[in-house]
Amino acid sequence: MSILQAIILGIVQGLTEFIPISSTAHLIFASRAMGLSLSAENKTAAIAVIQLGTLVAVLIYFAGDIWNITLAFIRDHLALLSGRGDDAAPRSTMESWRPSRLSQEAWLGWLVIIGSIPVGVVGLLFKKQIEGTFTKNLWVIATMMVVVALLLFVAELVGRRERGMEQLGIFDALAVGFAQVLALIPGSSRSGSTIMGGLFAGEKRETAARFSFLLSMPAIAASGLLELKDALKNLPQGSLLPLAVATIISGIVGYLSIWFLLRFLRTHTTGIFIGYRLIVGIALLVLLSLGRIAPLDEPQPATQGAPAARQASLMKGDAMGRGVRTNNIHRDSVNLSSPSSQTTRE
């Protein structure tokens, strides 16, 4: 991977991680277009590491929220343990949608934890499949581009879009959390799936996006850090610098993408993203059906080793052939001598 290729991958990752059009799908498109030849496992590792840049973008953008949530979470639970729970939260927390002894920020911390459980469990159970060729297959990517677009369209139609961040509850955490599981399949889009789940739960578009970004932090951190070790060990020599460049670029562009999307969704629907997903997904399905593009673009070690194997086989065959010819000559000489001995005996 060259520095230029790394910059392109970083821009693609930063633009598509938070905009609901699937970052993994576009990274695979970009890697194909640039002719990057990586195994399925190495490609997964590289993508996960580049995503760490967008994790930093979320941490910086929501630094104030993260600080308030962490501080309130610790404060309220220490108060509960010390028996001062009645004074740990203001009166406004005495609502049915959250425990009365937890402040809004502390409760939001619990919602992030609860919402992160589904993707964590499924991700660990299907780690091998996620890292394998199935999730790099363009048939899968194209199908999920269309499926999530249609689901997002339905969510826009039926979602009430009434509730803000202060009204989130366990149902929201579970709805968005299980929707995030779809993001394990490329083409789904983490932000697209989670925003869809939030809209189905009745959240406002901006609320769905903000909660989606908060919920993305544990998932991106876990996948990126788990793959970092494998990436450092297995990626081709000389890949570390380009990978670092791609990660930094993805963080910068990702920060701008968050800023853009939150402001865009205050006054716009997700219609433009739905349309884009449908166009790209259907176009891919048509090209795949016509055989114009291959569903997989993975290096095949067995194929690459075949010429050498065939050459070795041919050399072995030649040697065997020469041995056979030598034996035939030997047998011929014996056979030719036999009549002579018979003549002598006669």
| Closest listed residue to residue 201, CA positions, set 178, 180, 171, 177 | 171
> In this structure, are 157 and 120 located in the same domain?
yes
> In this structure, are 140 and 267 located in the same domain?
yes
| pLDDT at residue number 318 | 47
pLDDT band at 50 (very low <50, low <70, confident <90, very high): confident
- 303 domain residue, yes or no: no
pLDDT band at 234 (very low <50, low <70, confident <90, very high): low
- Tokens 């020469």 found at: 322
Report the SS3 class of residue 163. Answer: strand
pLDDT band at 62 (very low <50, low <70, confident <90, very high): very high
> In this structure, are 241 and 173 located in the same domain?
yes
> In this structure, are 330 and 285 located in the same domain?
no
Range of the domain at 42: 3-290
| pLDDT at residue number 315 | 45
Check residues 148 and 328 and name the one with the higher pLDDT: 148
Check residues 232 and 24 and name the one with the higher pLDDT: 24
| pLDDT at residue number 314 | 42
Q: Whole-prediction pTM value?
A: 0.76
> In this structure, are 107 and 66 located in the same domain?
yes
Query: How do residues 163-179 score in pLDDT, each as one tens digit?
Result: 888 889 999 999 999 99
pLDDT band at 12 (very low <50, low <70, confident <90, very high): very high
- 296 domain residue, yes or no: no
- 308 domain residue, yes or no: no
Distance CA 244, CA 250 (A): 10
| pLDDT at residue number 278 | 96
> In this structure, are 255 and 319 located in the same domain?
no
> In this structure, are 121 and 44 located in the same domain?
yes
Instruction: Collect all residues with Cβ–Cβ distance below 8 Å to 191 and sequence separation of at least 6.
Output: 17, 18, 19, 20, 209, 212, 213, 216, 261
| pLDDT at residue number 271 | 94
Asked whether residue 308 carries a pLDDT value surpassing 50, the answer given is no
> In this structure, are 160 and 91 located in the same domain?
yes
